[in-house]
């Protein structure tokens, strides 16, 4: 694996042409996605600033141009009318000054559109010459002409009562209230993850620290909470968070998790009262830093997009100098004490050709590069082997056991294995059995929606040329479509 020097990781982007050769090389990779957003070059991680404004969806993401390394982060801007097809607009927020508040990265954050502007809240990741970290909460204003204006001074600096791990401002407006709230992921001095709450009557000024969010039962839950957010869905409050450096049963040795707690948020007392436990948002291997659109008018649902990746993991395309992509947008609703996550209804527009199930001698079907496979499952065990070779060997297995009432996704049969140390299989109980599977396959990812969104497994996979077949065992009724490209490969910085 390539070793990056600090100078290489944190090099400022001066001229887009510096990236052209890199882009030309990367765009030829067999693992470039066809209907998922991915960076033109380098590394993409968290989605940021997801809003509806000026008749289109705006989304930004963390982007390090130079390669598959968590180095100098920028905000890259993409737009969509329907959340299905997307267009690159180019880099939006750049860390471009050695003495700036964000001199070592424009880190994650969120957005709020007002009148003809989108206000972008982000963490300025500043490092002194001796590499001491300082986190600033910063603001920029984006006009409809696409031109971002950074405010010269941060809204506030790090709270001295916590460590310097303070980041990812999420701006929240409560319907019927004139107060804006902002929550920030943080770490206490005795290394506990938490969320800090600020408020203001004005988006641009007067932010005051209200206190640490109290979440009874979760006082000691990981050592840092990244990307926390409180969403109001279907009359309930949902605390989304990425607790770090703890292991969770069923998630192998993984140290980074993205999950949620359903409950009730009292903004007066800053108390989030859980109604139930912490649930993992996604049971797959590669999903983190999920963000919900900030100004959806429908109070019964939310729309969520996550980074299809996790921190501290190397991916096979690192060698090709790129990594990361975004998940498909999902519609979130609350059912009882759980979130239901379904692919957006609009994604049916991606369907192209409906394919017949014509098996080869080994009983396998050809698996297109970009496809949707849907199964109605009647009763009994179901076994699905995707990305097998022509003889039906190897691949990623999805196994449902009727006796144990659980589903297991295992990617250890793939020829290209990675991140094995965090575990290669994940299991989720299905109390009511398995009735439905909807699976989206792209060149290097798979998203498996179980029982209409009751559980989701999202994973990167890197099939070789031979691994493009699949077979199904069980009492199922199956359909399959090829999917159209939805994101144009285009060099735009």
Contact between 123 and ligand FRU (CB under 6 A)?
Answer: yes
Smallest gap from Cβ 46 to ligand FRU, in A, equals 5
Nearest to ligand FRU of 57, 107 (CB atom): 107
Least distance in angstroms from the C-beta of 181 to ligand FRU:
19
Q: Binders of ligand FRU among 252-291, rule CB under 6 A?
A: 288-289
How many residues bind ligand FRU (CB under 6 A)? The answer is 14
Q: Is 103 an interacting residue with respect to ligand FRU (CB under 6 A)?
A: no
CA distance 408 to 74: 37
Catalytic residues: 46
Work out how close the CB of 13 gets to ligand FRU at its nearest, in angstroms, rounded to a whole number.
Answer: 15
Sheet architecture: strand order including 193-200: 162-173, 180-188, 193-200, 208-212
Cα distance between residue 365 and residue 373, in whole Å: 11
Select 193 or 453, whichever has its Cβ closest to ligand FRU. 193
Single residue of 58, 73, 77, 411 touching ligand FRU by CB under 6 A: 73
102 vs 226 by CB, closer to ligand FRU? 226
- Specify which residues 141 forms β-bridges with: 119, 149
Question: Can residue 107 be called a binding residue for ligand FRU (CB under 6 A)?
Answer: yes
List 373's β-bridge partners, or say none: 439, 480
Return the C-alpha torsion angle 281, 241, 306, 424, nearest 10: -50
Q: Of residues 163-222, which lie at the interface with ligand FRU (CB under 6 A)?
A: 167-168
- Positions of E strands within 256-296: 259-266, 271-274, 279-280, 288-292
Q: Which CB atom, from 71 or from 368, has the smaller least distance to ligand FRU?
A: 71
Question: Which CB, 138 or 142, lies closer to ligand FRU?
Answer: 138
Residue 214 Cβ, how far from ligand FRU at the closest point, in Å?
22
* List 33, 38, 45, 341, residue binding ligand FRU (CB under 6 A): 45
| CA–CA separation, 94 and 136 (whole Å) | 15
Is the CA virtual torsion 83, 88, 89, 93 positive or negative? positive
CB of 45 to ligand FRU, least distance (A): 5
Q: Is 62 in the site for ligand FRU (CB under 6 A)?
A: yes
Judged by CB under 6 A, the chain residues 126 through 165 that form the site for ligand FRU are none
Nearest alpha-carbon partner for 197 in 172, 226, 219, 220:
172
What would the x/- binding string for ligand FRU be over residues 294 to 313, using CB under 6 A? -----------------x--
Looking at beta carbons only, is 73 or 126 nearer to ligand FRU? 73
Residues of 253-282 as b/e, b for ≥16 C-beta within 10 angstroms?
ebbbbbbbbbbebebeebebebeeebebbb
Return all residues near 190 (Cβ < 8 A) that are at least 6 apart: none
Is residue 50 involved in binding ligand FRU (CB under 6 A)?
Answer: no
Considering the complex, what minimum distance in angstroms separates the CB of residue 266 from ligand FRU? 26
Per-residue burial over 65-81, b = 16 or more CB atoms within 10 Å of its CB, e = otherwise: bbbbbebbbbbbbbbbe
In the complex, the residues that contact ligand FRU under the rule CB under 6 A are 45-46, 62, 73, 107-108, 123, 167-168, 226-227, 288-289, 311
């Amino acid at each position: 694996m390539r070793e990056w020097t600090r100078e290489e990781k944190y090099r400022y982007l001066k001229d887009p042409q510096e990236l052209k050769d890199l882009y030309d090389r990367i765009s030829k990779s067999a693992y470039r996605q066809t209907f998922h957003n991915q960076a033109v070059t380098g590394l993409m991680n968290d989605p940021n600033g997801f809003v509806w404004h000026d008749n289109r969806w705006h989304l930004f993401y963390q982007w390090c141009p130079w390669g598959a390394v968590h180095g100098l982060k920028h905000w890259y801007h993409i737009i969509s009318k329907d959340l299905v097809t997307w267009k690159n607009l180019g880099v939006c927020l750049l860390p471009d000054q050695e003495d700036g508040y964000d001199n070592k990265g424009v880190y994650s954050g969120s957005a709020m559109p007002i009148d003809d502007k989108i206000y972008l809240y982000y963490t300025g990741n500043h490092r002194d010459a001796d590499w001491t970290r300082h986190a600033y909460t910063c603001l920029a204003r984006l006009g409809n002409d696409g031109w971002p204006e950074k405010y010269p001074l941060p809204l506030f600096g790090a709270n001295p009562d916590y460590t310097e791990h303070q980041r990812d401002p999420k701006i929240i407006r409560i319907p019927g209230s004139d107060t804006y709230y902002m929550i920030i992921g943080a770490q206490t001095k005795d290394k506990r993850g938490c969320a800090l709450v600020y408020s203001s009557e004005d988006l641009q000024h007067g932010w005051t620290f209200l206190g640490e969010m109290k979440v009874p039962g979760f006082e000691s839950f990981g050592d840092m909470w990244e990307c926390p957010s409180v969403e109001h869905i279907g009359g309930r409050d949902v605390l989304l968070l990425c607790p770090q450096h703890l292991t969770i049963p069923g998630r192998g040795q993984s140290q980074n998790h993205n999950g949620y707690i359903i409950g009730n948020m009292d903004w007066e007392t800053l108390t989030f009262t859980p109604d139930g436990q912490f649930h993992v948002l996604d049971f797959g291997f590669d999903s983190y830093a999920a963000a919900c659109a900030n100004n959806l008018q429908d109070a019964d649902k939310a729309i969520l997009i996550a980074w299809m990746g996790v921190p501290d993991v190397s991916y096979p395309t690192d060698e090709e100098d790129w990594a990361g992509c975004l998940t498909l947008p999902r519609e979130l609703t609350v059912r009882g004490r759980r979130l239901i996550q379904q692919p957006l209804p609009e994604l049916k527009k991606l369907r192209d050709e409906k394919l017949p199930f014509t098996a080869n001698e080994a009983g396998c079907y050809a698996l297109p590069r970009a496809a949707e496979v849907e199964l109605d499952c009647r009763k009994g065990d179901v076994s699905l082997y995707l990305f097998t070779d022509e003889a039906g060997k190897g691949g990623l297995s999805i196994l449902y056991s009727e006796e144990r009432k659980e589903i297991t996704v295992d990617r250890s049969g793939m020829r290209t294995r990675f991140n094995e140390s965090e575990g290669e299989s994940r299991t989720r109980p299905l109390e009511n059995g398995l009735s439905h599977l909807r699976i989206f396959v792209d060149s290097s990812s798979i998203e498996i929606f179980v029982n209409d969104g009751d559980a989701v497994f999202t994973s990167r996979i890197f099939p070789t040329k031979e691994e493009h077949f699949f077979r199904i065992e069980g009492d199922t009724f199956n359909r399959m479509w090829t999917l159209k490209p939805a994101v144009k490969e285009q060099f735009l910085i």
